[in-house]
Structures are given as structure tokens and as C-alpha cells.
């Protein structure tokens, strides 16, 4: 266990559905991240939060909407997704948003869009 | 262009044998390099982290080396076990730029250990 939990572990949704992914870290970290991992592609960093403020936002489609209500919780709200959005979505946390701090990953949510 | 290339893409070895995974990068300026192990259906777990001044670092049966001059790193696994079957990801961090722009991920090497 890395101290980062994600729910659900698996999710199947239609293109018209709205769902949310949840991440919780029990490490007292100040930074949290959402990653997308597609088959045979490198991990893609989607969003970065530091102390509940979104620090950076990669060129992610607006159908993905992150929310960080406090430093321990991170959500990814999904709506009108496309089949190509099917992937493993990983949450991670680190002590600070600095290059020297190790990131601890959750187990991921396997998302399938039908 | 900053990139991280890993080889081989996949590898099968017999239990008890040693193996070496490669990571070549063009990321500059360099800050640090990490090796992660990712079991199927799980999130990546950090194995080692090395900065510019470190040439080698061990974590049990895992030994990582770094040659900052040639921009190459290797991960050597000794006396492999079935539990070593996983994807091994090389991540290089740049010394400047935004958080999103600092981290460069390799595609990983899929290692399978057979009994």
C-alpha cells in the first residue's frame, strides 16, 4: 500500500454518462496529480494541484474536470467521454510540487468508455 | 526535443537469471532520474532515484546506474523472481520549466519472469 487510494478500481460508462473518479491520500502531502496511462504509451500528466489550487493544466479536453476540495482528496469528473478516453487513470501525491520529491501512486481506475 | 527511450520493449527471462533494462534520454538540463516498477493493474512504485552526481544506487536486488555524460541509465535485476514480472518505467526530470514540462516518461519495459 502506498497510502494513496482510488475508487472505483474499474468503471464502464457510456459516452453520455457522467461519472467521477475519486482519489484520497493519507500521507499528509501537499501536491496531487492526475495521470492518464494508455496502452503502449508513456504516462501523460493531466493536472497538478498544490495546496488545493490547480497549479497546471495540460492540454486536456474540457470533458475532464478536476476538483480538489482539500489537500487529501482529488476528484476527476467525467462527462460525454469518447472511446479513446478508455485508459488507466492514476492519481499520485507528493510532499510538494517540486522535482525532487517522490510521487506516490494509487492503484488506478481502469476506465472503459463504450 | 526532450525524450526518454527504453529498451527492450519487452523481455522474458527464466527465474533466477539476471537481466538489464536500458533507458536513454535527451532531457536537458537534467535534474534526476527515477525507475518505477508497475505491476499489472497497479500504480507505479518507485525503485530508485538518482541525481547528476550519483552513478549507482541499489534497492535490494535492483541496481540502477547512471551515466550523465552519455545520458544513459540501466536497471539491473539480480536473481530474478516471479514477482519481478512487471513494467519498469524510466522517468527523467528536467531542471527547469513548469511541473508539466519537467517530467518525461518512458514507455516502459515489460518484463516477464518464467518459472
pLDDT per residue as tens digits for the range A5-54: 999 999 999 888 899 999 999 999 999 999 999 987 888 889 999 887 78
Separation of alpha carbons A27 and A6, rounded Å:
14
Mutate to test the interface with A, among B1, B44, B94, B108 (most CBs of A within 10 A): B44
Query: Residues B41, A76, A26, B39: what is their CA dihedral angle, to the nearest 10 degrees?
Result: 10
pLDDT in tens, B69-92: 999 999 999 999 999 999 999 999
Are B11 and B112 in contact by the 8 Å Cβ rule? The answer is yes
DSSP label at B85?
-
For A37, B43, B49, B67, the CA distances from A9, given in Å and listed in that order, are 14, 11, 28, 38
pLDDT in tens, A48-84: 998 877 877 778 999 999 999 999 999 999 999 999 9
**pLDDT for position A51:** 80
SS3 annotation, chain A: CCCEEEECCEEEECCCCEEEEEEEECCCCCEEEEEEECCCCCCEEEEEEECCEEEEECCCCCCEEEEEEECCEEEEEEECCCHHHCEEEEEEEECCCCCCCCCEECCCEEEEEC
Handedness of CA B72, B66, B6, A45 (dihedral sign): negative
**pLDDT for position A78:** 96
The phi-psi region of residue B61 (left if phi > 0; otherwise alpha if psi is between -120 and 50; otherwise beta) is alpha
| B90 inside 8 A of chain A by CB | no
Chain A hits for B90, Cβ within 8 Å? none
Radius of gyration (Cα) for chain A, nearest Å?
A: 13
**Helix or strand (DSSP H, E) at B99:** helix B99-102
Separation of alpha carbons A45 and A48, rounded Å:
8
Q: Do B42 and A108 touch (CB under 8 A)?
A: yes
Separation of alpha carbons A80 and A63, rounded Å:
6
Share the mean pLDDT of chain A: 90
**pLDDT for position B101:** 57
**Chain A residues interacting with chain B (CB cutoff of 8 angstroms):** 2, 4, 6, 40-45, 48, 55-56, 58, 90-92, 97, 99-100, 102-108, 110
Look up residue B25 and give its three cell numbers.
534520454
Separation of alpha carbons A104 and A85, rounded Å:
23
Using CB atoms, pick whichever of B31, B44, B49 lies closest to residue A105: B44
pLDDT in tens, B8-35: 999 999 999 999 999 999 988 888 899 9
Q: Measure CA of the first residue to CA of the last residue in chain A; give whole Å.
A: 31
Share the mean pLDDT of chain B: 91
Amino acid at each position: 500500500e502506498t497510502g494513496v487510494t482510488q475508487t472505483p478500481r474499474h468503471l464502464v460508462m457510456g459516452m453520455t454518462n457522467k461519472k467521477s473518479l475519486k482519489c484520497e491520500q493519507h500521507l499528509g502531502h501537499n501536491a496531487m496529480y492526475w495521470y492518464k496511462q494508455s496502452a503502449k504509451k508513456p504516462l501523460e500528466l493531466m493536472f497538478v494541484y498544490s495546496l488545493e489550487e490547480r497549479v497546471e493544466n495540460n492540454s486536456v479536453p474540457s470533458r475532464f474536470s478536476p476538483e480538489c476540495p482539500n489537500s487529501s482528496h482529488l476528484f476527476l469528473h467525467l462527462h460525454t467521454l469518447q472511446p479513446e478516453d478508455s485508459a488507466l487513470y492514476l492519481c499520485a501525491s507528493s510532499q510538494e510540487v517540486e522535482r525532487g520529491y517522490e510521487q506516490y501512486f494509487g492503484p488506478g481506475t481502469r476506465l472503459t468508455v463504450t | 526535443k526532450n525524450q526518454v527511450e527504453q529498451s527492450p520493449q519487452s523481455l522474458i527471462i527464466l527465474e533466477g537469471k539476471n537481466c538489464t533494462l536500458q533507458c536513454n534520454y535527451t532531457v536537458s538540463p537534467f535534474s534526476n532520474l527515477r525507475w518505477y516498477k508497475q505491476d499489472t493493474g497497479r500504480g507505479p512504485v518507485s525503485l530508485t532515484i538518482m541525481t547528476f552526481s550519483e552513478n549507482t544506487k541499489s534497492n535490494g536486488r535492483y541496481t540502477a546506474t547512471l551515466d550523465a555524460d552519455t545520458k544513459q541509465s540501466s536497471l539491473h535485476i539480480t536473481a530474478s523472481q516471479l514477482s519481478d514480472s512487471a513494467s519498469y518505467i524510466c522517468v527523467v526530470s528536467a531542471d527547469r520549466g513548469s511541473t508539466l514540462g519537467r517530467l518525461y516518461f518512458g514507455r516502459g519495459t515489460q518484463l516477464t519472469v518464467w518459472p
